[in-house]
């Protein structure tokens, strides 16, 4: 287990504010993208903070495309 630092606690507070502001938000990362917070728990009232390491790769087009809300709205307006 890592030692909890002030950076972790500051990020936890930032993530908690983001989660409080958006019920649908499940993950949150910092600007540097070296910390990620995951909404956790049966009541979704817990936060797991994970320190990320080096990125392995960015894999493109490996799953089916999912239309964004804007694309779906455009299609609906075309009808």
Please list, residue by residue across 18-49, b when 16 or more beta carbons sit within 10 angstroms of its beta carbon and e when fewer do: bbeeeeeeeebebeeeebbbebeeeeeeebeb
Query: Per-residue pLDDT tens for 14-61?
Result: 999 999 999 999 999 999 999 999 999 999 999 999 999 988 898 998
Query: Per-residue pLDDT tens for 12-25?
Result: 999 999 999 999 99
pTM above 0.85, yes or no: no
Strands (E), the chain: 27-29, 35-40, 46-51
């Amino acid at each position: 287990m890592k030692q909890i630092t002030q950076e972790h606690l500051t990020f936890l507070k930032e993530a908690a504010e983001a989660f409080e502001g958006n019920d649908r938000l499940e993950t949150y990362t910092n600007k540097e993208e070296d910390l990620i917070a995951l909404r956790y728990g049966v009541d979704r009232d817990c936060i797991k903070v994970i320190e990320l390491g080096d990125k392995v790769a960015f894999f493109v087009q490996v799953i089916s495309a999912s239309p964004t809300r804007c694309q779906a709205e455009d299609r609906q307006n075309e009808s």
